[in-house]
Amino acid sequence: MPGLRGRAAHTVTDADTAIAMRSGEVPTLATPRLVALMEEATVAALAGHLGEGETSVGMRIHIDHLSPSGPGAGVTAEAVLEAVEGRRLTFGATAMVGDTVVATASIVRVVVATERFVGRLDAKTD
């Protein structure tokens, strides 16, 4: 499975800014929204490659948000599966606006049995 690639793209809107997401005070792409886009790319990389009844969940992300992006900017994220250790999948991800690297990240996801994982949530809400 190493080498799998996924992409996700998004045009920044006012709703994606740090001000709107309450993660800062500037009208630029919020880091939490950027994280979501990069994770979307990891999910795209795994599409069709997990077993029946399996999904992956986010476990860890280390991101370097390197450059601001304003509303109207088209951001593209690409994730590459770099390592598989049992159920733990490690991706390298990059987000770009044109030729500018906006962010880089290391993202770890874990493969889980969907029903069992969701069942754990139900047990905690009773």
Higher pLDDT, 20 or 123: 20
H-run or E-run covering 18: helix 18-21
What local confidence, expressed as pLDDT, does residue 1 receive? Answer: 82
Q: Which value, in Å, is the radius of gyration of the alpha carbons in the chain?
A: 16
Condensed to tens digits (0 to 9), the pLDDT of residues 41-99 reads: 999 999 999 999 999 999 999 999 999 999 999 999 999 999 999 999 999 999 999 99
Structure tokens, 88: 């733990």
Which residues are within 8 A (CB) of 7 and not within 5 positions of it... i.e. 6 or more apart?
Answer: 41, 44, 76, 77, 78, 79
Which of 48, 58, 54 has its CA nearest to residue 114?
54
Q: Which sequence spans correspond to the domains of the chain?
A: 5-125
One of 3.20.80.10, 3.10.129.10, 3.10.105.10, 3.90.550.10 is the CATH number of 5-125, namely 3.10.129.10
What is the pTM for the complete model shown? 0.92
